[in-house]
Amino acid sequence: MKDYAEFFEEVTDYRKAGRCLHELSDILLLVLCGLLADCETFEEIYDYACDKGTVLRQFMALPAGIPSHDTLNRVFRRLNPAELERCLTAWGQHIVGLLAGRHLVIDGKQLRGTTRHGRRQAPVQLVSVWASEQRLCLAHTPVAAKRNEVAAMPQVLDLEDVAGSVVSLDALGCQRAVAASLVERGAGCVLALKQSQGDLHAQAGAHFTPLLVQPPAHQHLDKGHGRGEQRRVWCSQDLGLVDAGTGWAGLRTLVCVQTTRWLNGCEEQATRYFLSSLAQASAAALAGYVRRHWGSENQQHWHLDVTFTEETCQCRRDHAPRNLSTLRKLALTHLQRCPLKMSLKRKRKKAARDDAFLHLLLAQLPAEEHTPTS
């Protein structure tokens, strides 16, 4: 049997030695198991652990029995979140390996359940690095407010060696300082360009207007579930007409993506522009980066809010929201990497019922095997 709790052994126990009934690694692993097994709150995790005590003791010490929900809450409020996040980062690096050639998505998310009554802004907001092909979060870092998300982007990049990778960002990250930071780190970039960029957006639109009558460099059509979507892509490296593009470090290519959707007999069309440092990339490759960028929203943020109900979680005090978010992302990756063909919601319910399936999920943790002593 693997000692799964070893995964958390690098997290420092802030509590005084000799005065604790429960091992910190047990507490962290217990919460991870609860999140995998369809629990949302510390109370539900405690109830689950009481029902499954015999099974959990197969891979947890639990010297003083099951920790109460108040103990779980207290530990998560005071635990150093940066150390727990390093476990998430180390596991992501273990899975992904070298980041060179990988597509990384930088995106921010508010933990809306932490919003105080009468306030509009959530006090806990995180900017994360998402590996699109592997569908996992490699790292995240907090920001003080939505407007500071741009300042947090270079900080989260410091957590990973992004040299040789391709980093995509939404319109909020389309800033000269962010582009310069990526070029300095040796990474390629694909930045969404919105009207907030003023002259640059207007000049990009004027630059592509005469080109849109020509056949696109790449075209793709999706059909299914009662809807259709056509994406057409044009690329240009003739930047002479885009005066506002001067001063952008490493800018080599302008990309125009025109999307037409058909749903329930209605047609919608949108045209979006992107900046890229990838001079040699094909239109098809650039279209892939643009489309996969939204994997962070669809495959991570949506599931955190809907499958794990993060958006409505009322855990607000101290470091508990951030620490819980780290373990939710860890649990989400466990579920997504499991090849069983069923929804994540069904996988969570199966983990709550099927002890062998829970072991299968936990077996993904890179812990060493130990032979029991007789």
How many Cα atoms occupy the beta-carbon half-sphere of 124 within 13 Å?
24
What are the residue ranges in the chain where pLDDT is below 50? 1, 368-374
Residue-level pLDDT at 149: 64
What are the start-end ranges of the H helices in 174-301? 176-184, 199-208, 283-292, 295
Quote the CA–CA distance of 351 and 361 in Å, as a whole number. Answer: 8
Residue-level pLDDT at 336: 93
- Residue type present at position 186: G
Residue 115 per-residue DSSP state: P
How many Cα atoms occupy the beta-carbon half-sphere of 133 within 13 Å?
13
Point out which residues pair with 267 in neighbouring strands: 262
pTM of the model: 0.85
Residue with token string 């939404």: 170
Residue-level pLDDT at 219: 92
Residue 123: CB partners within 8 Å, gap ≥ 6? 114, 115, 116, 316
The answer to whether 320 and 76 have CB atoms below 8 angstroms apart is yes
Point out which residues pair with 2 in neighbouring strands: 369
Phi, psi of 219, deg, nearest 5: -145, 140
Phi, psi of 319, deg, nearest 5: -90, 0
For 105, the token pair is 């998505």
Residue-level pLDDT at 80: 92
| Number of Cβ atoms within 10 Å of the Cβ of 65 | 12
Residue 51: CB partners within 8 Å, gap ≥ 6? none
Quote the CA–CA distance of 156 and 87 in Å, as a whole number. Answer: 15
Point out which residues pair with 110 in neighbouring strands: 125
Residue-level pLDDT at 264: 79
For 193, the token pair is 């360009």
Closest CA to 23 of 11, 37, 38: 11
Q: Is the dihedral of CA 155, 158, 164, 166 positive or negative?
A: negative
**Element of type H or E holding 78:** helix 69-78
Residue 44 per-residue DSSP state: H
